[in-house]
Amino acid sequence: MAVTEAERRAMTRALELAANGPRGVNPQVGAVILSSDGETMAEGWHRGAGTPHAEVDALSKLAPGAARGATAVVTLEPCNHTGRTGPCALALIDAGITRVVYALDDPGAVSGGGADRLRAAGVDVESGEQADAAHTLIDGWLTAQRLGRPHVTVKWAQSLDGRAAASDGSSQWITGPAARADVHRRRAESDAIVVGTGTVLADDPALTARDGDALLPHQPTPVVIGSRVTPADAALRRHPNSPLFYDTRDLHAVLADLHSRGVQRVFVEGGPTLASAFVASGLVDRVLAYVAPVLLGGDRLALTDLGIPSIDRALRLEIDEWVPLGPDLLAIAHPATATDSPTEGAD
């Protein structure tokens, strides 16, 4: 049975509801219960670890038996395991739901499989509706499930000839206002913003996400990597969120600790040395390269040595999107050879 127009509208609404939930060890999920004639009966979303999942939250707003014959529209495949809460697939079956439409499969080895359980119980199941939008919403959680670490975006701004700064070290501003505003918006979509001590000492960045002079509602936690001491009066020490400091070059260890703190999306903009370290370590899921129509020359490249000895060993990227930003151009890309390995799903 094809997805109906009412179900498509319900999925759009479910994605909006999902965004209300917090990012953390659990995914953001939204659910809408539709009557047999396509009318919305109840809505729900997941409010964090240990709270009812979106499907159960929506069902809880209905009288016993009211969901019989109804359709559940959910942004993620209903889970199939018992953790701090029970399996959502079983809750839907017990409630008498006869059709489920969901966007994305659950990648968890334990939590996945809800669709099969529903079908085995005679429930009609349709998957893939607005999958791209659902993936964008929870890409950080999906990466954490597959790789056991946060989703990492590395950003840099460069001249047309690949330089991040002029020969005297000055770099403000290579790009124009539209590109800088885009950076701040993307900062606000992240959980942590990562720089090296070199950037802190050279630029004294505030590491906030701003709209002009105003702080945006969501602020990423500042993360500083390196052995040099951050001055007591550094701007980032006045950040709304307490900074995290890592005196190590072990990026895997840093990401593991951030993952344990519930960080899903990491935004790296700490200069050529740190950006290159993440790339060389194979820890990059997305690249944001802001290219300005200026020429600088010199040796201050946007990336340093990546340990690539010849052209046949080059790190190939796939372009997701080219975004014009005033006179500048943003390239959004991901590594073409990225590999994933499944881990167990969260509760």
- 14-49 per-position pLDDT tens digit: 999 999 988 767 889 999 999 999 999 999 999 987
Between strands 151-159 and 192-196, the pairing is unpaired
* Cβ atoms within 10 Å, residue 135: 13
The edge-to-edge listing of strands for the beta sheet with 30-34 is 40-45, 30-34, 71-76, 99-104, 124-127
What CATH superfamily is the domain 5-137?
Cytidine Deaminase, domain 2 (3.40.140.10)
Respond yes or no: is residue 16 known to be catalytic.
no
> In the prediction, which pLDDT does 347 show?
43
> According to the model, what pLDDT value does residue 84 have?
63
Q: How far apart are CA 219 and CA 190, in angstroms?
A: 8
pTM of the predicted model, to two decimals?
A: 0.76
Structure tokens at 276: 């290159």
* Residue 29 · residue 21 · CB < 8 Å: yes
Q: Which of 7, 16, 39, 55 is catalytic?
A: 55
For residues 177 and 172, what is the distance between their CA atoms, to the nearest angstrom? 11
- Amino acid sitting at position 321: E
Class of domain 145-335: alpha beta
Which of the residues in the chain have pLDDT under 50?
A: 338-347
Closest CA to 160 of 149, 146, 175: 175
Our measurement of the distance from residue 338's CA atom to the centroid of its chain's CA atoms, rounded to an integer in Å, reads 16
pLDDT of residue 203: 85
pLDDT for res 141:
85
Q: Using CA of residue 188, residue 171, residue 202, residue 255, what is the dihedral sign? A: positive
Q: Quick one: pLDDT at residue 170?
A: 77
Beta pairing, strands 221-225 & 192-196? parallel
Q: Where are the domains of the chain?
A: 5-137, 145-335
| Residue 332 pLDDT | 94
Q: 197: helix, coil or strand?
A: helix
pLDDT for residue 344: 36
